[in-house]
Structure 1
Amino acid sequence: MHRDDVTDWLDGVGPAGLDRPEVGALLVAMPSLGDPGFERTVVLIVGDFDDGYQGVILSEPTRDDVRTALPRWWRSALPPRKLHRGGPCDPELVLCLAVGRKGLDVPGLVEVKAYRHQSLYRVEGDVDPDVILPSVAGVRLFRGYAGWDPGQLEYEIALGAWLVVPSVADDAVSAVSATLWRTVLSRQVGGAAFLRACPDNPARN
């Protein structure tokens, strides 16, 4: 595939995507991104602030077992029960996402996205896992996060570096998170769906 062909595909993904980034949406890395740290990643936007956006990479499980790294969270960690690489910012920080029924009023849980039958929550602050774990169906833990300054993410999207699409309830806690890039693209329409078969460097094909 030539670079011009990739550009044509990207021009055709509009109907599948959202107009702008929003909390709870997915950022799907496009071949034109050019950053090896985000190659073929899926990022969930978990917060928007005056100083930009925060997200976590959903698609990169590490070899670090939750039982070893954070044993108190082990019993509610969802398969594959590995810490995930959340992004390049503050890699010593561990972020936690939880899934549970909608409308939970539990200290330390902040709703990120409400779906039809459940909600996705951020776990914030110095939280005792024994307090929240009885209320949620499971958690996923991330080392580090992805961050964008004001206007930066919008600029990257305008350049075609990211496809912004709605998330579904299972994306953040997928048991096969390593395959999420292809999975998310496969449920899009138009050119975006074909990108799942794109080689690592489409300009060389």
Structure 2
Amino acid sequence: MKQKNAPSKGSLLISKPLIGDGFFEQSIVYLTEHNHEGSMGFALNKESLLLAQDFINDLEGKDPIVFGGPVEQDALFFLHSFDNLPGATLITNDIYFGGDFDVFQEAFRTTQKHSIEVRSPKLFLGYSGWSEGQLEREIADGTWIVVNPPLELDPLSVRKETWRKYMLDLGGNYALWANSPKDPLLN
């Protein structure tokens, strides 16, 4: 299937089956930046064993930290829907990237403490980055399916199993691959 969509800020990149890349195998990446200099985004479905509660005191629940990509894996990043967070960058509609971490922590705690209806933020270790033209080459090579806004998938609600569900929804050969092991040669 020839890719028709071009990536842009706010696009989702869905890895095609058997791309042969350990980190990006069965990945859904949300692009927070895409321009002539390159691209930046976060893998949304690579949950770690770490929890947001390990980084933010007095936070209830068990919100998994996600491995956002292979770049700067020792740095913490976050996506959220807090529209009044100082320093946050609007990506699409009501999804923001970054901002003042102290204010973010307080907003996160407050929403939980008072049971305020808000989509749960996502915290990431590392990010996914591409140099100038690199992502376009990967798309041309058939590595990614590009889904442009408006999105049916909410980036803040993507979980580990979402890639498989998306492949099943695409149907055809994609549905077959969704039910296969990551490495069919080991089957």
Verify the 8 A CA contact 1:58 1:84 in the aligned structure 2: yes
The separation in 2 between residues aligned to 1:130 and 1:156, in whole angstroms, is: 36
The separation in 2 between residues aligned to 1:130 and 1:142, in whole angstroms, is: 14
Corresponding residue number in structure 2 for 1:129: 104
Q: Deviations over 1:127-160 (max 9, x none)?
A: 5225654699231100000000111001001111
Post-superposition offset of 1:168: 2.8
Verify the 8 A CA contact 1:31 1:201 in the aligned structure 2: no
The answer to whether the aligner puts 1:84 opposite 2:66 as a matched pair is yes
The separation in 2 between residues aligned to 1:32 and 1:164, in whole angstroms, is: 17
Corresponding residue number in structure 2 for 1:44: 30
Verify the 8 A CA contact 2:75 2:126 in the aligned structure 1: yes
106, 112, 117: which one aligns with 2:91: 112
Post-superposition offset of 1:125: 5.2
Verify the 8 A CA contact 1:22 1:48 in the aligned structure 2: yes
User: Alpha carbons of 1:130 and 1:93: their partners in 2 closer, same or farther (altered >3 Å)?
Assistant: closer
Corresponding residue number in structure 2 for 1:97: 79
Post-superposition offset of 1:57: 0.6
- Alpha-carbon RMSD across the aligned residues, in angstroms, is 2.8
Verify the 8 A CA contact 1:120 1:169 in the aligned structure 2: no
Corresponding residue number in structure 2 for 1:66: 52
Verify the 8 A CA contact 1:66 1:81 in the aligned structure 2: yes
The separation in 2 between residues aligned to 1:31 and 1:169, in whole angstroms, is: 19
17, 20, 30: which one aligns with 1:34: 20
SS across alignment from 1:35 = coil
SS across alignment from 1:144 = strand
| TM-score normalised according to structure 2 size | 0.79
SS across alignment from 2:160 = helix
Ranges in structure 1 where 5+ consecutive residues have no aligned partner: 1-10
Corresponding residue number in structure 1 for 2:183: 201
The separation in 2 between residues aligned to 1:88 and 1:139, in whole angstroms, is: 21
Ranges in structure 2 where 5+ consecutive residues have no aligned partner: 112-116
User: Alpha carbons of 1:92 and 1:25: their partners in 2 closer, same or farther (altered >3 Å)?
Assistant: same
User: Alpha carbons of 1:99 and 1:173: their partners in 2 closer, same or farther (altered >3 Å)?
Assistant: farther
Percent of matched pairs sharing the same residue: 25
Post-superposition offset of 1:54: 0.4
The residue identity in structure 1 corresponding to 2:74 is: E
SS across alignment from 2:170 = coil
Verify the 8 A CA contact 1:29 1:41 in the aligned structure 2: yes
Q: Quick check: which one's helix share is greater?
A: 1
